[in-house]
């Protein structure tokens, strides 16, 4: 089952594939695998070839943790020298004290809730994933931090690249137009904070819903500006 779709703006050919479909000869990227020099799809989704590397963007499904991903997680439990974190995945993630801070911590005298408490939201980086799917997080990247306040939006993880946009163009546009802070996790969790977080959240959910269409950037730009104009005209209480 193959349907050729053209992305008008990027001129990238996308093909609808199912697991086991032959993609071609080359290297397997995300969502694909190699056998005898040939590359096959591991998911139902759209395949792309990028400089000889075949990737498949799933149409949906759960988040599969990958090393290097930036994720938004919620502190679920605290055990002696680590935090247990929900990362919107079937696999449990842990944040060791050694990956949370570079300062020396005397575990006999330190209450870990001073760093991260139950229910706290954090933006962390996946530093390791074992074959048995044990996931380790790190806060050492300068982008990693605790997320205070704001609202959380859940989206399909496979739609995250569309929400972020090329080189971050889509999310940066929304942030600028709505004057909000937005953090997007590869695990399908989006954090939004600001006076216009309702409009920013609507934009994110609209991208998820309409991610398959071309001209999406112009559509979102127009929609957000219209919503901001309408909000500016609302009577102040």
Question: HSE-up of 98 (CA within 13 Å, CB side)?
Answer: 2
- Among 3.20.10.10, 1.10.540.10, 1.10.10.2520, 2.40.50.140, what is the CATH number of 70-147? 2.40.50.140
**Phi, psi torsion values for 186, nearest 5 degrees:** -65, -15
What is this structure's pTM?
A: 0.74
CATH 3.30.1370.10 domain position(s) in the chain: 151-232
CATH 2.40.50.140 domain position(s) in the chain: 70-147
Q: 3-class DSSP state for residue 94?
A: strand
Please enumerate in sequence order all residues whose Cβ is within 8 A of that of 27, keeping only pairs 6 or more positions apart, or say none.
34, 39, 52, 53, 54
Q: Is 220 exposed, middle or buried (0-12, 13-18, 19+ CB in 10 A)?
A: buried
Read off the pLDDT of residues 49-93 as tens digits, 9 standing for 90 and up.
877 889 887 766 678 899 999 999 999 999 989 999 999 988 889
Read off the pLDDT of residues 38-51 as tens digits, 9 standing for 90 and up.
999 987 778 888 77
Residue 4 confidence (pLDDT) above 50: no
What's the confidence (pLDDT) of residue 161? 94
Chain centroid to CA 21: how far? 26
| Rounded CA separation 52/24 (Å) | 9
Alpha helix stretches (DSSP H) within the chain: 160-164, 169-178, 197-209, 216-232
Residue 146 confidence (pLDDT) above 90: yes
Residue 225 confidence (pLDDT) above 50: yes
Read off the pLDDT of residues 157-172 as tens digits, 9 standing for 90 and up.
989 999 999 999 999 9
Q: How confident is the model at residue 131 (pLDDT cuts 50, 70, 90)?
A: confident
CATH 2.40.50.100 domain position(s) in the chain: 4-58
Closest CA to 116 of 152, 88, 85, 153: 85
- Among 3.30.1370.10, 1.10.1740.10, 3.30.420.40, 3.90.1200.10, what is the CATH number of 151-232? 3.30.1370.10
CATH architecture, domain defined by 4-58: Beta Barrel (2.40)
Which tokens go with 106? Answer: 């005397």
Of all residues in the chain, what percent carry a pLDDT higher than 90? Answer: 64
């Amino acid at each position: 089952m193959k349907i050729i779709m053209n992305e008008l703006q990027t001129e990238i050919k996308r093909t609808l594939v199912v697991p086991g479909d032959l993609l071609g000869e080359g290297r397997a990227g995300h969502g694909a695998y190699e056998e005898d020099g040939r590359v096959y799809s591991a998911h139902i989704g759209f395949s792309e070839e990028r400089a000889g590397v075949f990737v498949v963007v799933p149409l949906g499904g759960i988040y599969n943790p990958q090393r290097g991903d930036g994720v938004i997680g919620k502190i679920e439990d605290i055990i002696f020298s680590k935090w247990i974190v929900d990362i919107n995945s079937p696999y449990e993630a842990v944040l060791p004290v050694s990956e949370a801070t570079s300062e020396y911590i005397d575990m006999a005298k330190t209450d870990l809730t001073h760093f991260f408490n139950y229910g706290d939201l954090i933006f962390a980086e996946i530093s390791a994933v074992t074959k048995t799917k044990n996931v380790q997080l790190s806060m050492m990247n300068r982008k990693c931090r605790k997320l205070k306040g704001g609202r959380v939006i859940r989206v399909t993880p496979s739609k995250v690249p569309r929400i972020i946009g090329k080189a971050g163009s889509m999310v940066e546009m929304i942030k600028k137009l709505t004057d909000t802070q937005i953090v997007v996790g590869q695990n399908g969790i989006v954090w939004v904070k600001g006076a216009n977080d309702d409009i920013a959240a609507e934009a994110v959910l609209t991208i998820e819903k309409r991610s398959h269409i071309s001209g999406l950037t112009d559509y979102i730009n127009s929609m957000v500006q219209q919503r901001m104009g309408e909000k500016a005209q609302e009577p102040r209480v």
